[in-house]
Amino acid sequence: MTDPRVVLVVHPGAEMFGSDRMLLESVIGLVQSGARVVVALPSRGALDVELRRAGAEVVVIPMLVLRKVLLTPRGLPRLLRDTVRGAVAAWRLLSRLRPEAVYVSTIIIPQWPLLARLRGARVVSHVHEAEASGNRAVNAALYSPHLVSHHTLVNSAFALDTIRASLPALAQRATVVYNGVASPDSPPPPREELEGPVRVLFIGRLSPRKGPDVVIDAAGALARRGRPVAVTLLGAVFPGYEWFEDELRRRAADSGIDVSFAGFHQSVWPFLADADVLAVPSRVDEPFGNTAVEGILARRPVIASDSSGLREAAGGYPTARLVTANDPDALADALDDIVDNWSDVRSLVDDSRLIGESRHAPESYRATVSRHVLETR
């Protein structure tokens, strides 16, 4: 019996947000292919638990993870330290495992493509980041380490266009693979009648980028129109952004709206089951929008910003609305429209779910990623 093929997977965190969930789906596919999968993370966390449950081995090693705080004069000593420690730890792990393939998840762990290539492995990068509004030179610098990869996967046509605008050579060797999103087999239908407040749900990081304050302001606008509304914010802040949560709480108190701060929960489905409408009001470019797809799969109408990858994530569904980003009144108008046409919207949620299941089947995603990673050069 021959030893299984060894695949090293590298990821910059151990939480369970969008790219973390996609990493888990990728690993499940690689494990199902029969490979021995070893995942390198910089820390322990919820993702670590799920990876081991999926059949992967997990190692925690020092790693250079590009964060904005490192790209400042104050962060320079730590950047230099993490660069050296990360390179040494990566080389040792590559030398010990001698993997046939290395799957590099996200662009913020820039050392891995070159080091893996030097060790003779097939290297596949998976890009989950895209800011078309960002500086092209900065984007090119962030993407450039992945030029040494044999192939690059991206999660949307928007992300591919963003790469092409800043680094055309990388785009020529890239393939769009839409995220695979799992969901419960039989999510509950929406309420038949909207008795009491309209329940609006936000899922994501509590950060200015994601726009939870836009949801609060839109709810306030609805209340002023005589429409009762309740908001649930499902998510937590990055360390160092506690000031923004304090600001959100003050805004909620000033508005008089019933706003629940639910914190982070690994499973979003109970909250979607209790919601009437999901809002995805990101202010800035999103490479995709898993949250919008989760809302569709949960049989809930979705309102998303009409920008970037959210157009691909939420576009083409009869129960999704795209609105101007950073515009509480536009979000309030869309909520009004959904509530006024609740019976029609409710009758179409199953049609939307069928489309979402077809576009984002986890089995298809897993098989596609595995094929690209394990492809013989």
Class of domain 198-359 as given by CATH:
alpha beta
Task: Please report the pLDDT score of residue 270 as a whole number.
Answer: 97
CATH H superfamily, domain 6-180+361-374: Glycogen Phosphorylase B; (3.40.50.2000)
Burial, 86: exposed, middle or buried (Cβ in 10 Å; 0-12, 13-18, 19+)?
buried
**What stretch of H or E contains 116?**
helix 112-118
Residues of the chain with pLDDT under 70: 1-3, 376-377
**What stretch of H or E contains 330?**
helix 328-340
Q: Residue 303's closest CA among 275, 270, 271?
A: 275
Task: Please report the pLDDT score of residue 284 as a whole number.
Answer: 87
Torsion sign (Cα): 153, 154, 157, 163: negative
Provide CB contacts within 8 A for 179, sequence distance 6+: 18, 22, 25, 155, 288, 290, 293, 360, 365
pLDDT digits 0-9 by tens, 195-251: 999 999 999 999 999 999 999 999 999 999 999 999 999 999 987 889 999 999 999
Residues of the chain with CATH 3.40.50.2000: 6-180+361-374, 198-359
pTM of the model: 0.88
Please state, as a whole number, how many other Cβ atoms lie within 10 Å of the Cβ of residue 261: 16
Alpha-helical regions (H) of 57-111: 76-97
Task: Please report the pLDDT score of residue 75 as a whole number.
Answer: 86
Task: Please report the pLDDT score of residue 3 as a whole number.
Answer: 64
Distance CA 370, CA 377 (A): 14
Structure tokens at 339: 């509530």
How far CA 261 is from CA of 104, 121, 235, 252, 271, in Å, comes to 34, 45, 8, 10, 12
Task: Please report the pLDDT score of residue 377 as a whole number.
Answer: 57
